[in-house]
Amino acid sequence: MAQLEAVVSGVVQGVGFRWWVSRRCEQLGLDGAGENRSDGTVLVTASGGPDALSRLLADLREGGAGRPGSVEEVRATWGEQPT
């Protein structure tokens, strides 16, 4: 299992972005969610298979799967899920 943390900046609060992250993770078979941060960004954390995580990251960056809002930047960090 792999883990992804992504800090997403742009117009991502108050537009249904966190709801979309939860639904997209569910569709991809991932355990994940988004969390609003005080600086206006959203922290996305997800764990699961590397291919599904890569698809999520691409959707975050490219606006796939009907992603709401307007993303300016995605800073991603990869890791392994602790066992």
15-27 pLDDT, tens digit per residue, is 999 999 999 999 9
Range of the domain at 15: 2-80
What is the value of pTM for the model shown? 0.92
- Which of the following is catalytic: 36, 37, 55, 61? 36
**Amino acid 81: pLDDT:** 63
SS3 content of the chain, % helix, strand, coil (to 5): 35, 40, 25
Where residue 83 falls among pLDDT bands split at 50, 70, 90?
Answer: low
- Helix axes of 17-28 and 50-62: crossing angle, nearest 10 degrees: 150
- Say whether 23 is catalytic: no
Q: Is the pLDDT of residue 65 over 90?
A: no
Q: What percentage of residues in the chain have a pLDDT greater than 70?
A: 96
Count up the domains in the chain and report the number.
1
- Say whether 67 is catalytic: no
Kindly report the CATH number assigned to the domain that includes residue 76: 3.30.70.100
Q: Is the pLDDT of residue 2 over 80?
A: yes
